[in-house]
Amino acid sequence: MTQARALKECGVKNVMLSYQYCHEAFDDYAAMFDGIGVISGKIDNVDPYYNWARLNRGLTDFIAQYDVPMNIQLTMKYYEKALKDRISVSPILTSNYLQHLSQIKLTDFDRTILLGKMTGNIEEDEQVRKLPGGHKYHGLAKGRWVTNLLINITGVNSSTWLSGVRGRKTDVWKGPSILLGDKGKGDRTILERILDIHKDELEQCQIHKSEVLSGQYSALLKLPIALYYIPMLSSLGVASQNFETS
């Protein structure tokens, strides 16, 4: 729950959760955010996930199907199992988006389609451009498509926001990537200048400049939200849909 609280302190409204890590405390997470999507994570058995999805479908905006990355046949098997069991799940495309999409009979154009794994960014980018309109798409680790207006990508999954504590670094929206903590001692002047530029975002996330400079865990955990995500979504004109603002 530490990471969820960090997101909430930054005013984050919408999240994508992993059943693998949150299912036992899902009610607590559901009470914290306005919009919630759920994906299975890496689990060994589809049945517990689908049983849980059936019980909690009223608390989520969408629940992703159980999928096997890079395997259309098995992924389709699990998608059809959910439909047969009357569980409303969002399909995950994998391996070859257009081929996979042709096998899914979508009658509900309001349903979110998730974009999963493909081999190679060049082929993936080409297929994303060819996806049909009329659907909502959620990109699993497809952050580079967030500014593309050709298709309706309504959300993306990314672990970039954890980079402050995992890799002691963070991306800065329209700025240089910076190193943090002991790694960033040589870039302290640059870091201080960036923190001054984004002082409003730091305040929104309840981050003190001194905490970042001293490498405090809580500050580094929230820092990518302040330096990357809030400025990025503000530039796209969708900050109010994704962040509570004072």
For residue 242, tell me if it sits in a domain: no
Tokens at 15, concatenated: 């999240």
Residue 54 has what pLDDT? 92
Same-domain check for residues 169 and 153:
no
CA–CA dist 23, 36 (Å, integer): 13
Same-domain check for residues 17 and 137:
yes
Residue with tokens 């689990």: 43
CA atoms within 13 A on the CB side of 70: 3
**Is the model's pLDDT at 149 over the cut of 60?**
no
Sheet containing 92-93: give its strands across. 92-93, 112-115, 136-140, 153-157
Q: How confident is the model at residue 148 (pLDDT cuts 50, 70, 90)?
A: low
For residue 210, tell me if it sits in a domain: yes
Same-domain check for residues 83 and 19:
yes
pLDDT per residue as tens digits for the range 34-59? 999 999 988 889 999 999 999 998 88
**Is the model's pLDDT at 68 over the cut of 60?**
yes
- The residues near 229 (Cβ < 8 Å, ≥ 6 apart) are 161, 173
What proportion of the chain, given as a percentage, has pLDDT over 70? 93
What proportion of the chain, given as a percentage, has pLDDT over 90? 60
Q: Per-residue b/e over 155-181, b at no fewer than 16 CB within 10 Å?
A: bbbbebbebbbeebbbbbbeeeebbbb
For residue 148, tell me if it sits in a domain: yes
Same-domain check for residues 38 and 153:
yes
Q: How many domains are there within the chain?
A: 2
Residue 142 has what pLDDT? 67
The whole-number average pLDDT for the span 58-80 is 94
Mean pLDDT of the chain: 89
For residue 108, tell me if it sits in a domain: yes
Residue 135 has what pLDDT? 86
Same-domain check for residues 225 and 143:
no
Final residue in a domain of this structure, among 112, 132, 158: 158
| CA distances from residue 152 to 35, 134, 140 in whole angstroms, order as listed | 18, 8, 14
Residue 193 has what pLDDT? 96
pLDDT per residue as tens digits for the range 117-140? 888 888 888 888 888 888 888 887
**Is the model's pLDDT at 143 over the cut of 70?**
no
- What's the pTM? 0.86
Same-domain check for residues 127 and 223:
no
Same-domain check for residues 152 and 168:
no
Same-domain check for residues 152 and 166:
no
**Is the model's pLDDT at 175 over the cut of 70?**
yes
Its domain, for residue 216, covers: 162-235
